[in-house]
Amino acid sequence: MSSVNQPKKSFLNSAAWTRFSIFYALTFLLLIVIPVVHSLIADGPMDFDAAGARASATTGLAWTSNLWVVFRLCLAEPVLALVVFGSAVPSIAGLLVCIGRNGRVRELFSRFRVRIPWRVALKEYGLIFLVMVVGLSCAYALRSALPGPEYERPAEFLGPGLVLALLAAAFLDQGAVLEELGWRGYALSELQEGLMNPLAAAVVIGVAWGLWHVPRDVTWGVVERLGLLQYLLLYLPSFLAGTITVSIIITYFVNRCGGSILPAIMIHGLNNDAVGFAGFAPLEIILSPMHQITSALPFAVIAFVIVIKNGRQLGLNKHTTI
């Protein structure tokens, strides 16, 4: 039969693209809930830093990305629950798009399971820890070699609590636990099932994931502090470089683990680096172009190696799901 008469395989079918577009629009629309609810329950401007400081003073707990600590701080300052809601927005959006589609909600939540044999999964998880620790350590070495602000590691960095700190960072990070059901649980599976190759899907989600943080940068004063030109030309491209490269690494391990989002939670959480492998710095340094590019470069190298070795499939069909 002539190839002229054969139906052309779509790069991404229209139904999948429509659902992804609705999902992504919802991730922004749902953020509007935060200032609306804040205006109803609190007086004065939206200042979560001040609320966090009050909660820390009341509880004696320092604000971290550890979800258990965040919940305890929310009990002291209920307005902080809006921060938790903001982190959960991608997952809520994914859930809303799945409602009404036969079996999709159940399938979405099934991605929290280990979907390959445990013996294989533990090897993959061990590799994830190795990759992330190497990447973060390279970021610290890069920052130490370059002129600029000094990054510090905690005095007990190599103490006995390191293993527990790594596990907490991997499995209890606020952003990772609350976001990944949306980004990799829903969006990645939607794009890959819609015929987009995994590498393209990882890049699309990496860009979408990065741009979703722009409202945060506006409300936290990052744009005002840096100036619009520096933000658009330096900070945002550096930040997007990080979200794209980490998205490629996440996609590779999610596919190797049969579609489970546990690797996504681990990589996202470890990349946020509550442990301090890449060094601690004040918030104004973290939200700077130099910090973002030094975060992105080591993982860009790792992502490049993954793509060279695995091609556009990024581990898809490496293991059969169970």
Q: Please, what are the averages of pLDDT over each run of 10 residues along the chain (322 residues)? A: 43 85 97 92 83 92 89 94 95 95 92 95 97 96 90 77 89 96 96 91 97 92 92 96 98 96 97 89 88 96 97 79 48
Q: Which two tokens stand for residue 255?
A: 């596919």
Neighbours of 69 (CB within 10 A): 20
Q: Which two tokens stand for residue 155?
A: 């005095």
State the first-to-last Cα distance of the chain, in angstroms, to the nearest integer. Answer: 38
> Which residue type sits at 157?
F
Contacts of 49 by beta carbon, 8 Å cutoff, 6+ apart: none
Structure confidence at residue 107 (pLDDT)? 94
In angstroms, the CA 211 to CA 242 distance is: 12
Structure confidence at residue 74 (pLDDT)? 95
Structure confidence at residue 192 (pLDDT)? 94
Contacts of 31 by beta carbon, 8 Å cutoff, 6+ apart: 86, 89, 215
Under a CB-based contact definition with an 8 Å cutoff, are residues 246 and 268 in contact?
A: yes
Q: Which two tokens stand for residue 242?
A: 């990080």
Taking Cα atoms as reference points, which of 48, 19, 64, 6 lies closest to residue 274? Answer: 64
Structure confidence at residue 10 (pLDDT)? 55
Please, what is the angle between helix 118-145 and helix 236-256, to 10°? 160
Contacts of 218 by beta carbon, 8 Å cutoff, 6+ apart: none
Largest CA distance in the chain: 75
Q: Which two tokens stand for residue 28?
A: 């922004």
What is residue 173's three-state secondary structure? strand
In angstroms, the CA 254 to CA 181 distance is: 12
In angstroms, the CA 159 to CA 161 distance is: 5
Under a CB-based contact definition with an 8 Å cutoff, are residues 238 and 293 in contact?
A: yes
Structure confidence at residue 322 (pLDDT)? 44
